[in-house]
Structure 1
Amino acid sequence: MAVQLDDQLMDILACPADHAPLRVGTAADPAADVLTCTACGLRYPVVDGIPVLLADEALPAEAAADGAGA
């Protein structure tokens, strides 16, 4: 299921690692339950509709053309 967050909330959320804006989903899966940093690519899980914006909980950036996923 795709993440559904209020547009105003998405306007203020930022990556805790480099303060860049976040986008919903990933390049490979726009419906993924994660928020992806537009700069560094770290993926932050969304659990029960709540973004977990902790650097320690972030998933690594996706490999470009690797095809390997977490």
Structure 2
Amino acid sequence: MARSQSRQVDPLKELDRLERRHKKLKERVAEYEARMFLTNTEQLDLAKLKKQKLATKDAIENLRVPSS
């Protein structure tokens, strides 16, 4: 018999994970932005990284400030 269990995520561990992810994304964005020229593929990668970085920042803020 399969049992459905919902995993409780420790908010502090999740916050730490998200902050580490945000830092890595920020570093990768900075690497691209330091270049003089980006290929079309690199430009697309940079745009995706920026979106991921912003989504991660939003997730961090949502954990820090619980919704009412």
Q: Which has the larger strand fraction?
A: 1
Q: Which has the larger helix fraction?
A: 2
Structure with greater contact order relative to length (CA < 8 Å, sep ≥ 6):
2
**TM-score where L is the length of structure 1:** 0.21
User: Radius of gyration: which is bigger?
Assistant: 2
